[in-house]
Amino acid sequence: MTDADLFAAPPPEAPWTLPFAQCPFALLDCEMTGLDPERDALLEVAVARVVGGAVVELYSTLVHTEAPIASAAAALHGIDAAALSGAPSFAEVAPRLAAMLDGAVPVMHGVELDVRFLDRAFAAAGSPRRVGPALDTLRLARRALHARQYNLTSLCTSLGIAPVRWHRAAEDVRALHPLFNRLCAALDPVDAMDLWQVRAADGRVQVRSGIERALAAAAGSPRPVRLIVRTPGHAERELRARVLWFRSPHVGLAPAGQGVVPAILRADRVLRVPG
């Protein structure tokens, strides 16, 4: 799989274009024997199917492998060869995983590594299933939240989300669930495609289509609107302003209050436009 394949845009169809509350999401986490998809292997996988913010199904399993477990990996997740002795092979769990993914938008924290391992494992098992494209909560968090660190452990800890233990697939997925809900509340997406358009981590300036529609509708109106914005290095804040014009990726604003000078804002920094 090339980087172009990994980051290819989702097709403009269900489930990506379903109304957000109706869209099924598949929250995934994997543990591996090491970090090299060419040499290492999966040894634990968990997926939670989420609809309307609630978990409707959770599946977690160890995965038997003959690949040696790197000492650094074992120190993180604590899984050893003895724990895997009675575990099913990936070929045995692949149908259940594929069913959990069917019709759902995959969600992971740092998608690249997990997707590469999962796609190689599905291919080795003779399955046509591929995981991507997927939403990345790391990218979403970098746009929506002001934090000192954005790895899953640090981010969840800062938000008061604490699983029983870290670096086990099911527990990480249980932590990913409230984090994803928190990010969705901050970004108020219309659909999953709206979330995929958040590109904070790769240097692109891309205004989400839902934000574009809201700003275009407000442009030129004498009535002020509420904008929730976040600029780099700061927490989100509320602006109350008239939208003078919108020419993507910039928006001209006349903030409420006497003597306030009109401002130009990059519209990709608008998190949401409350109704």
Q: Are residues 268 and 191 located together in one domain of the fold?
A: no
pLDDT at 158: 94
| pTM for this predicted structure | 0.93
Q: Give 81's contacts (C-beta < 8 A, 6+ positions apart).
A: 69
CB atoms < 10 A from the CB of 12, how many? Answer: 8
Instruction: Give residue-wise pLDDT tens across range 225-258.
Output: 999 999 999 999 999 999 999 999 999 999 877 5
Please give the Cα distance from 25 to 106 (Å, whole number).
Answer: 6
Please calculate the CA angle 5-108-174 and round it to the nearest 5 degrees.
165
Q: Are residues 169 and 249 located together in one domain of the fold?
A: no
Report CA-CA distances (Å) from 103 to 18, 21, 25: 11, 14, 8
- Structural domain count of the chain: 2
Instruction: For residue 89, tell me if it sits in a domain.
Output: yes
Instruction: For residue 204, tell me if it sits in a domain.
Output: no
Contact 192, 23 (CB under 8 A): yes
Q: Are residues 169 and 243 located together in one domain of the fold?
A: no
Residue 240: which domain range? 209-272
Q: Which residue positions in the chain have pLDDT lower than 70?
A: 1-6, 200-203, 258-261
Q: Give 225's contacts (C-beta < 8 A, 6+ positions apart).
A: 214, 218, 240, 241, 242, 243, 273
Q: Give 7's contacts (C-beta < 8 A, 6+ positions apart).
A: 133, 202
3-state DSSP call for residue 25?
strand
Q: Are residues 85 and 106 located together in one domain of the fold?
A: yes
Cα-to-chain-centroid distance, residue 49: 14
Q: Are residues 122 and 213 located together in one domain of the fold?
A: no
Please give the Cα distance from 116 to 195 (Å, whole number).
Answer: 21
Domain of 87, CATH number, reads 3.30.420.10
Burial of 71 (0-12, 13-18, 19+ CB in 10 A): exposed
Q: Are residues 44 and 129 located together in one domain of the fold?
A: yes
pLDDT at 203: 66
Q: Which tokens in the block code for residue 7?
A: 């980051």
Q: Give 59's contacts (C-beta < 8 A, 6+ positions apart).
A: 46, 47, 48, 96, 97, 100
